[in-house]
A and B are shown apart, each in its own frame.
Chain A
């Protein structure tokens, strides 16, 4: 069972524009305007806008829920209670959002006037744009591109560029070091990340996330044959979204807040938000590529999107667990882990995938 988002919104927009607004305009004898509003092109544009808005709102809500989950679970990991505002502390993030909303917007004197305001827009925009490619279920998605895996990872690749720009434009030693580290780390970890994705693509034979999930529904979850790739992907993804133990770009003990030190007010809030948006996209990629996406027993009642969200939250739980348990790695260790450990493992994993494919087992 799944919700057909495009069909629902398309029908809704058609009903609103043709049946209600069109009738009113006809009654006012504005036939040309009614015809224009009812033309397929206008209807399609409005439908796309509404679907995009729904996807953005759902993505933001899920990201905010991830922040809540992290604060609550991290509290339990440390024998604390966690957030307290509202039922189960659910309103704390909204309170924080309102707080940063009313803060003053300060630009440092030495900052680059052009790039300093531009970098967070790039970071936040790219992070939010990644919601587009994530399908929640067979019907609940924004775009069903044939290359959605590549598209998502390509948008991940834009982040280090924007982070480096923001760190440089702030004109502060901490932000610059943080930006450099972020760029070096994310660029390095994209290699094992893409190699482990390549193994999935080799087995499933498609670059579309919907097709990858459909293949896993028919055959077997990719985590079974590609367990090494799964581990490599998770570790690389933690590094890619700059979380503990790979949070070198914003190592609080060394660099004040890393590359985001000079950003305040709502920009700070949105940068924080975008980190969790990327965490959402990262953990959904793990769920989609390796854990079967929305595959699961539905019994005809349970929505497929629920299974997907459940798997995504479980993957994020692993991220939180790693954050609670592991110390931050050193600058030299992080590239050591990437080039000397993860890259060979990813290559071995790719060989295994190719072996399985040539033997015709999958």
Chain B
């Protein structure tokens, strides 16, 4: 019978590798756990220190929100929808307006924070409120009032960018992405001058301008978009009855 060939390392593994080394490692771990304390966090009594970038359920700053619906469109799980609610009361005697505000089904939310990233006015924020268990599904739906959360600087999330050519240069910090903006573009043939885009624009960036008269003597109106005011929310594209508007990247 041929002798089994064993490398030197394999032979050494016998006593040191299987007995001495594991004993040493476990004793080291044991002393570490005695001197410090075990890794375990006793959850209901102790809670983890949350990092600043922690993203739990979305929160809403009610007054900042313009009701544009970007959060609703960008949500990957489609858990946000816009509802018409009464505006918060400001002063006595003032008439309470109806406003559009997001409503979030937290049971479906995956806490990605995209709504806060894309919010043009930083009304949508990420919160540290992660204990969201409820007894029924209705309780998991947060209406705009319940969604409110006090904002503080760490909770606002921005999409920051820095150009590759700027990397490594002095004094260049990542900045908010403002230069590239998608704007609605009109296909002139399809427009029927209904001015719904102007009515529904949340920031009043659309103005109807008269460009002539038709054969019946009625004025022909075409929308003009204010690139400064526009927040690229696509509301006008959605409401257009004749699909005359499309979003295009404006460089």
Contacts and interface: CB of A to CB of B under 8 A. Distances in A.
Q: Do A and B bind each other?
A: yes
Contacts of A76: 30, 33-34, 38
A325 B25 contact: yes
A24 interface: no
Interface residues of B, number: 16
A110 interface: no
A79 B29 contact: yes
A75 B26 contact: no
A326 B19 contact: yes
A321 B26 CA distance: 8
Contacts of A75: 38
Contacts of A84: 42
B214 interface: no
Interface string B1-36: 000000000000000001100110111011011100
B39 A79 contact: yes
Interface in A49-65: none
A318 to B, nearest CB: 10
B198 to A, nearest CB: 64
Contacts of B25: 325
B33 A77 contact: yes
Given A325-B23, A326-B18, A326-B19, A81 B38 contact: yes
A298 to B, nearest CB: 28
Interface string A117-155: 000000000000000000000000000000000000000
B22 A80 contact: no
A77 B38 contact: no
Contacts of B29: 77-79
B14 to A, nearest CB: 11
A47 B131 CA distance: 61
A238 to B, nearest CB: 13
Nearest to B22: A325
Interface string A71-96: 00101111111001000000000000
Contacts of B38: 75-76, 79-81
Contacts of B178: none
Given A76-B33, A326-B18, A327-B18, A81 B40 contact: yes
A306 interface: no
Given A76-B33, A326-B18, A81 B23 contact: no
Interface in B140-180: none
Nearest to B27: A321
A324 B18 contact: no
B22 A326 contact: yes
A321 B24 CA distance: 10
Nearest to B37: A81
Nearest to B24: A325
B40 A77 contact: no
Contacts of A73: 30
B35 to A, nearest CB: 10
B18 A77 contact: no
A325 B27 CA distance: 9
A79 B23 contact: no
A326 B33 CA distance: 19
Interface of B: 18-19, 22-23, 25-27, 29-30, 32-34, 38-40, 42
Interface of A: 73, 75-81, 84, 321-322, 324-327
Minimum-distance CB pairs A-B, first 10: A325-B22, A325-B26, A76-B33, A325-B23, A81-B40, A324-B26, A79-B39, A77-B30, A81-B38, A79-B38
Given A76-B30, A325-B27, A326-B19, 7 more contacts: A76-B38, A77-B29, A79-B29, A321-B26, A324-B30, A325-B19, A325-B22
